[in-house]
Structure 1
Amino acid sequence: MALNVPGLIAVIIFYALTLVTGLWAAWKAKKSEKNKKQTEVAIVGGRNLNIFVGLFTTTATWVGGAYINGTAEIVYLPSRGLAWVHAPLGFAATFFIGAFFFVKPMRSKKYVTMMDPLQETFGNTMGSILFLPPLLGDVFWFASILASLGATVSVILDVKGYIPIIISACTVILYTLLGGLYSVAYTDVIQLLFMMISLWICVPFALLNSASENIAYTAVNELYQAPWVGKIHPGDIARWLDDLAYLSLGGIAWQTYFQRVLAASSSKQAMVTSYLSGVLCAIMGVPSILIGAVAVSTDWNQTSYGLPTPFERRESNMILPLVLQYLCPTYVSVAGLGAIAAAVMSSADSSLLSASSMFAYNIYKKMLRKKASEREVLWVMRISMVILGSAGTGLAFLSNSVYDLWFLSGELVYSILFPQLCCALFVPSTNTYGSAAGFLVGFVLRLLGGERALKIPPMIYYPGCTLVDGNYVQLFPFKTFTMTVSLSTIIVISYLAQFLFMKKILPIQWDVCHVFRKDSSHLQPQEMEEQISLQKN
């Protein structure tokens, strides 16, 4: 296949448009810095994003390359199908739950990042430890979506995959570094509009291709492959619910979500934006579902792709670009490529901004340099963007391996960070001892459950654990079980520590985390004097 010159030109134009938009937004951010703190402008856009921009940037962050490619792949796989497509429903649930329960508590104290309530409740040291799972998650996410772009471009344009990975990374790093959330938000508007239009243009051409059977017929008939509607067997119901809970609740404890929530001009606007984003996220999954259904319904021998099928060649992960390439005209496939590039960049810039914001504000300013100026923190944020972006770009060449690492780190966020955030916001009497115990229990339980994709064997065989193709598969909802145990541990250990110290069963000198030494409002005058004496000693 020869180099697709028109496609290459179209992609260059799209990248140039994105970069110009990002630079314009950076100039807009610079003007806003005159009346507000530089760090707040960079991290939360000066807390004045309008509802239109807020809706588009929130939706575009979730509708990334992994979302649109992965949804089509799951519909196409014979062992899965539409019944196993959790993302549209799970992401919609994330935004609805977030709006109903989390928006007001986060905005009421004017937090800047998601880590603020964690550090406020559990202390800076524990907060820095809790920073690790989302940091790894953001870096691996950045890498995995760049990898998906590289694979797509190599199929449609016939160029080496590393070229679009490097160009995309440099573009994203540049405009995010200069404009912070302003650049990310305004480029997301362009990217999401382009994504919506391009994907829907591709769908009719794929559906009407002569090599494809009617998808309504193949939904339930085994014409070329298993019916694309899919089936949930009774033994898989627990795992299906576990995956849905993971996507619905695990998606809340991310800085990328709260960055948009905290950037809205009011709590009401933040809630409305969150609700609407949930609906729009679900709608954006429809083109990928239809493209996956078309792939199932296609006789690939009637296309220039030929046989064996993509599934037999183990190219199911590239089914969306393959449909665009072999079932659509060239100019249409180029539009689809632009949609994928837009999806990748809209998520990549958000993950980069998320990780660097938390590092600069919560680690550097609150722990390492408490007297750091606004300008200094801003430069630390920019330098961390370059370092984390470079690391993610390097990891992108690991392809499937990095996607598995992102999925595992996302599960750690669900198992460890989500319970911690719930306790910090809704159970303020929890403390550092409970937080540390919950972190340890959640981390150990998740690793002992094993990870099939990374070939990590389980050490705990939950009920229904089955050997499939030489690897153990946990049919028990162990991810949600781990999260629940972690949550319970935080609460129980917190109250136990409070009881032991307040009842003087343990001496106050053993309070190494200084949880109860500094809280003396509940003590009698004589007890307060004793505590002051102990602190002096």
Structure 2
Amino acid sequence: MAFYLVIFLVGAFATWKSKTWKATNTVTMMLAKRDIGFIVGILTMTATWVGGGYTNGTAEVVFSPGQGLVWCQAPVAYSLSLCLGGLLFAKKMRAADCVTMLDPFDRRYGRVMAALLYIPSLLADVFFSAAILSALGATLTVIVELDETWAIIISTLVALLYTIAGGLYSVVLTDVVQLAFIVGGLWMAIPFAWNHPAVTSIAETARDPNNTWIGTWPEKNEVWPYIDAMIMMLFGGIPWQVYFQRVLSQKTPMRAQMMSVIAGFACILMAVPAVLLGALAKSTDWNATDYRFKGEVPIPPEDYKLVLPLVLQYLTPLPVAIIGLGAVSAAVMSSVDSSMLSASSQFVRHVYLPVRNVCSTKRGGEKYQTSERELLWVLRCGIVVEGTLAAMLAIAVHTIYGLFVLCTDLVFVIIFPQLFCVFYMPTSNSYGSFFGYICGACLRLVGGEPVLGLPALVTYPFAYKSLAMLTNFICIILVSYLARVAFRAGWLPMRLDVFECFHTSADIDCKDNKTRKVNGEHNSAYSDDEARSTKM
């Protein structure tokens, strides 16, 4: 309770200091006036990725029989994705003066495609938030014996309160405090757990073929799924609004790029304590601890997600366990607040505002001007809705690492090839984007998803997630080319150009922040960020 009070007060202080509650436009709340300091930016980006799913999920995989460190791909892949995102996209996105990740799609492919791409982005944010809320619920259940459902609900409410009030200002400042808790809490627990009498040397268990925490390299039939998962997390860790929100909050494109690369190295360092705690759990004789009086030994598969809190509870003194609990709580808060804000930011700009402008017309066809006050309240309502959905999913699904990977699955298959094409394929257009989206999504869905209980309609012989992503990518290029040739050669009449891509012959690059190509009649001057929120 003391920890939650500290976090809430820090968030409230950020709100008061920045006067965000009285913000006059949504850009201030979304991007903190693009005035986040370089060092603070590195810390907040690191804290956002190092969430409860990152720490608890890493310990879970290192401990799990048949997996181990070799199969703990997420920390390495996500850290590399931050570096790759910085090199490929951060500088370009910031130089284009975007406000959300979907702005380049809005400018080039139109509002419809931007709205469609919001769907997998929203689902990914919900799954990501659910993973880390589930991690916190598991921790509170073990250490303070609080009902998991109530633990998730209380944690969500605390994050909602300061995120609604302060926007990115509150999120960033609380992230810095939370990262300090994560580093201090987990590293403090390691010496106590290491020297517990029930724990065997991790060097010894690493060499034990029957109980190794290192794991074994994938066998022949596991190579493709292993490679598929690694590629998915590497490239699927890039196209996130929660990532680009930090990139776009920097003053200059170069600072945005450097911040992303440095945060990537910081993230891999933050995985070290979670790996060690998972290895210590694997090296523990749980029959020699007090856990044997409350739990089943050996630890059953459904409780693998509890490994990190079990180490804190039974292998460290109570004060250290409580501080470790604060570390896990901090990891959750630092990620869930960011996801809430990112999902609602995209909703306001790419769903609500276009629909509101289309539906709101005066007599004579003149459109109402949507007020910034209205948009701010829609943004806050969106934060509440996303947080509620994430809490519900966290209560219903019981695998932290599964949700943590699933959220990347969606953005990898659907959004990554679209993001690459919008920046690096100048001939791509709305038709290619639409068909790539549909084909990639369909191929992925028929493969099924065990985490959500979706049966597989087709059994693929190899890396089907990468196959779905490549299909999306190829469709964007091929269909864009065919559409361009068909309309310009006169094979198809212009009245069938429903996306209005070829009413003008100019090819306007989406990197130009003064001109936005939104296909045909949507071409218009792209004004400054504040005016953009009332002009679509």
TM value normalised by structure 2 = 0.89
Q: What are structure 1's unaligned runs of at least 5 residues?
A: 1-11, 464-475, 523-530, 533-537
For the pair 1:17 / 2:2, whether they are aligned, the reply is no
Describe the superposition over 1:172-207 as per-residue Cα deviations: whole angstroms up to 9, x where unpaired: 111101110000000000000111001000011111
Q: Supply the distance in 2 between the matched residues of 1:32 and 1:380 (Cα, whole angstroms).
A: 14
From the superposition, tell whether residues 42 and 303 of structure 1 become closer, same or farther in structure 2 (CA, over 3 Å): same
Residues 423-502 of structure 1 mapped to structure 2, 5 A cutoff:
423-463=421-461, 476-502=462-488
Q: Supply the distance in 1 between the matched residues of 2:271 and 2:471 (Cα, whole angstroms).
A: 33
Whether the aligned pair in 2 keeps the contact of 1:138 and 1:355 (CA below 8 Å) is: yes
Q: Supply the distance in 1 between the matched residues of 2:467 and 2:314 (Cα, whole angstroms).
A: 44
For the pair 1:336 / 2:334, whether they are aligned, the reply is no
Whether the aligned pair in 1 keeps the contact of 2:57 and 2:400 (CA below 8 Å) is: no
Q: What are structure 2's unaligned runs of at least 5 residues?
A: 359-368, 508-519, 522-536
**Counterpart in the other structure of 1:8:** none
Residue from 191, 213, 228 that aligns with 1:228:
213
Whether the aligned pair in 1 keeps the contact of 2:127 and 2:406 (CA below 8 Å) is: no
Describe the superposition over 1:45-69 as per-residue Cα deviations: whole angstroms up to 9, x where unpaired: 1101001210111011111111101
From the superposition, tell whether residues 344 and 521 of structure 1 become closer, same or farther in structure 2 (CA, over 3 Å): closer
From the superposition, tell whether residues 144 and 88 of structure 1 become closer, same or farther in structure 2 (CA, over 3 Å): closer
Residue from 103, 115, 121 that aligns with 2:102:
115
Describe the superposition over 1:233-256 as per-residue Cα deviations: whole angstroms up to 9, x where unpaired: 342222222111111110111100
Identity of aligned residues (%): 42
From the superposition, tell whether residues 439 and 174 of structure 1 become closer, same or farther in structure 2 (CA, over 3 Å): same
Residue from 365, 370, 395 that aligns with 2:353:
365
Residue from 372, 379, 382 that aligns with 1:381:
379
Q: Supply the distance in 1 between the matched residues of 2:83 and 2:378 (Cα, whole angstroms).
A: 34
Whether the aligned pair in 1 keeps the contact of 2:121 and 2:343 (CA below 8 Å) is: yes
**Counterpart in the other structure of 2:56:** 69
For the pair 1:214 / 2:201, whether they are aligned, the reply is yes
From the superposition, tell whether residues 136 and 213 of structure 1 become closer, same or farther in structure 2 (CA, over 3 Å): same
From the superposition, tell whether residues 313 and 440 of structure 1 become closer, same or farther in structure 2 (CA, over 3 Å): closer
Q: Supply the distance in 2 between the matched residues of 1:143 and 1:198 (Cα, whole angstroms).
A: 22
**Counterpart in the other structure of 1:317:** 305
From the superposition, tell whether residues 293 and 404 of structure 1 become closer, same or farther in structure 2 (CA, over 3 Å): closer
From the superposition, tell whether residues 399 and 267 of structure 1 become closer, same or farther in structure 2 (CA, over 3 Å): same
Instruction: Please give the secondary structure, in 1, of the residue aligned with 2:459.
Output: coil
C-alpha displacement of 1:403: 7.0
Whether the aligned pair in 1 keeps the contact of 2:413 and 2:472 (CA below 8 Å) is: yes
| Number of residue equivalences | 496
Whether the aligned pair in 2 keeps the contact of 1:32 and 1:41 (CA below 8 Å) is: no
Q: Supply the distance in 2 between the matched residues of 1:57 and 1:394 (Cα, whole angstroms).
A: 26
Matched AA of 2:245 = Q
Residue from 497, 506, 519 that aligns with 1:511:
497
Q: Supply the distance in 1 between the matched residues of 2:315 and 2:162 (Cα, whole angstroms).
A: 35
**Counterpart in the other structure of 1:470:** none
Instruction: Please give the secondary structure, in 1, of the residue aligned with 2:466.
Output: helix
RMSD of the TM alignment (CA)?
A: 2.0
C-alpha displacement of 1:506: 0.9
Matched AA of 1:25 = A
Q: Supply the distance in 2 between the matched residues of 1:520 and 1:268 (Cα, whole angstroms).
A: 33
C-alpha displacement of 1:406: 6.3
C-alpha displacement of 1:280: 1.0
From the superposition, tell whether residues 170 and 32 of structure 1 become closer, same or farther in structure 2 (CA, over 3 Å): closer
Q: Supply the distance in 2 between the matched residues of 1:21 and 1:342 (Cα, whole angstroms).
A: 13
For the pair 1:150 / 2:148, whether they are aligned, the reply is no
C-alpha displacement of 1:404: 4.8
Matched AA of 1:387 = V
C-alpha displacement of 1:32: 10
Q: Supply the distance in 2 between the matched residues of 1:131 and 1:448 (Cα, whole angstroms).
A: 21
